[in-house]
Structures are given as C-alpha cells and as structure tokens.
Amino acid sequence: MSSPSPHHQILLLGGTAEARKIAEALAARDDVSAVLSLAGVLSQPPKLALPLRIGGFGGIAGLVQYIQDHGITTVIDATHPYAAQMSAHAVAACDQTGARRLTLWRSPWQSEARDDWTEFDDWPSLIAAIPAGARVFLAAGQDGMSALPPHSDFTVIARALARPNDLPAMVTLIKALPGKTPQEEADLFARHGISHLICKNSGGESSRAKLRAARDLNMPVLMIKRPPPPPPPCYETPELLLAAL
C-alpha cells in the first residue's frame, strides 16, 4: 500500500524549546512534510527527527523564494519572542505567497509585589542605567553582549550557550543553560557577588528561576522591553498551535 501524500508542506522556524517540541510532534505525523529552519547561532544544532536547514533566507525576498521553491503551504513561526525581524519576515512572506502562518507567542512574565523590575526600550538606555561599581549578571543572549561598551565602571558576568565573536574583553562568560531552580540561581549570584540582573522578558518556565532568585534577594532587574506580538493567529503553547494545525 502506498503511503498517503502529505497535506501540509511545513516550514518550521525554530530556535526555541517550543520549536523542538513542535518538530517532534510533526515528525510523528504522516499527513505533513516539514523542515526545521535554524538561524545557525549554535555551533552544534540539536538532533531532531525533522530535516534541518540552517542560516538566514536573505530577507523577505529570500523567504518568499524559499516558500515558492519548496511548495510550502504553512509556515510555523516558533522563534523566540525577541526574534522580531524573523517574525516580521514570516508575516510579510506569508502575505505575499498566500502560505498559511501560525505563530507561537509566549506571554511575557508579569512582575509581582516584591519584584524590582525596570524596563528599557533599547540597550543604550539600559546600559546607561547600570550604576558604577555594579556586578551585573547578563542573561540576555547575544544582542545583550554585543551592546556592551568595550570598557565600563561596572563588571559583567554573562551566561550564554555559545561565545559570541565580538565578546568585550571585560565580560566573564559562563557557558551554561539557565539554572533550573531559584536556589541554583541564587547560589550562582552569590558566588559571583551579583548586584543586578539584566535579562529579557522571555516568558515561559525554562528561564524563569533567575527572576524568582532576584526577587528573593531583593535584587534590581533591568529588562529590555518585548517587541509587540505579530498579528494573529498567535498561540501560547505548542499544544494549542498543533491543535490549530
């Protein structure tokens, strides 16, 4: 008996834990054919059951071309909420080609009574607000590290999965995943004498423990504001998105 022909040709834009979850679910379905696309930030991409393509498409025009060349019927945008450019390109390319788009959009974290969070529109204004003598823990990805000045009157300990090419010499890099518990994060902050936390408002559970630790330690948190959500349809979880598919 011949296998059923796929109903959906899916391009999955990844780079998040949710995208990996969606990839596993798609790989298990026989009514879809899907490819996972990664920007190529990590030197070792995760091993997943879907075919992988790596690297930018070349702007909106390149993505339109890719969609047309590969007969893509559906684009799933499961990029990080701060990957605003890729998400905007997905919106524009789907509008131009008529491909269906489903976007994963985690809600931002909400501050609670004992939190001391300040939000900034951009990196220069956030960096200008760091007091002299501060020992900051930077958990904000590559763009946070790239935004740092070459010299400063504060100390930076940054956590990331990969070492960026343009890491300023004054940064101490910890290559690690986020700690799983507030206690683990609090211990790390104590070991490095951290006075301030800098991060994004990424939402979700996988990197939330650092904010709980900051709350417990009455530590000020400086955050870069979230980009606005893409136009609907947006789904909070992989499960909701897959159900809509």
| Residues in touch with ligand NAP (CB under 6 A) | 13-16, 37-39, 41, 56-59, 62-63, 79-80, 82-86, 89, 141, 200
Smallest gap, in angstroms, from Cβ of residue 90 to ligand NAP?
9
Smallest gap, in angstroms, from Cβ of residue 15 to ligand NAP?
2
- HEC profile of the chain: CCCCCCCEEEEEECCCHHHHHHHHHHHCCCCEEEEEEECCCCCCCCCCCCCEEECCCCHHHHHHHHHHHCCCCEEEECCCCCCHHHHHHHHHHHHHHCCEEEEECCCCCCCCCCCCEEEECCHHHHHHCCCCCCEEEEECHHHHHHCCCCCCCCEEEEEECCCCCCCCCCEEEEECCCCCCHHHHHHHHHHCCCCEEEEECCCCCCCCHHHHHHHHCCCCEEEECCCCCCCCCEECCHHHHHHHC
Specify the residue, 37 or 195, whose C-beta has the smaller distance to ligand NAP: 37
Specify the residue, 168 or 227, whose C-beta has the smaller distance to ligand NAP: 227
Specify the residue, 16 or 33, whose C-beta has the smaller distance to ligand NAP: 16
Return d(Cα 73, Cα 121) in angstroms, integer: 36
Specify the residue, 13 or 188, whose C-beta has the smaller distance to ligand NAP: 13
Specify the residue, 15 or 238, whose C-beta has the smaller distance to ligand NAP: 15
Specify the residue, 18 or 186, whose C-beta has the smaller distance to ligand NAP: 18
